[in-house]
Amino acid sequence: MTDRLHLTPEAAQRLTVDAEPWLSCDDCFHLVDRYVENLLSGDQDELPAMRAHLRGCSACRDEATSLLLLTAADAGTDPTRALQRLAQ
């Protein structure tokens, strides 16, 4: 096996994330504003595909986190709980 296939446990975990049901990055971008506002308002998560996508796509997850923090700052809201829900 080559060196690049000597995986760290963290890489192995990221490689086998269950990111079902499928959602594309484009659809994630389309939905993320509403999703973040729902998380901040404590509403029930109605978009399981969005949650799955954010588990599987680190780039979209990082951008969603920035959006959540910025939106929370505008609203004067503590983002802690919403951040926890985002990371689930």
Residues of this chain that interact with another protein (CB under 8 A) are 1-2, 4-9, 11-12, 14-20, 22, 24-26, 29-30, 32-34, 36-37, 56-59, 62-63, 65-67, 69-71, 73-74, 76
DSSP 36-49: HHHHHHT-----HH
Shortest distance in whole angstroms from residue 47 CB to another protein: 12
Shortest distance in whole angstroms from residue 22 CB to another protein: 6
Q: Dig out the tokens for 16 from the structure.
A: 């086998």
Residue 68: Cβ-neighbour burial (10 angstroms; 0-12, 13-18, 19+): buried
Nearer to another protein, 2 or 84 (CB): 2
HSE-CB of 35 using CA atoms within 13 angstroms:
25
Nearer to another protein, 13 or 84 (CB): 13
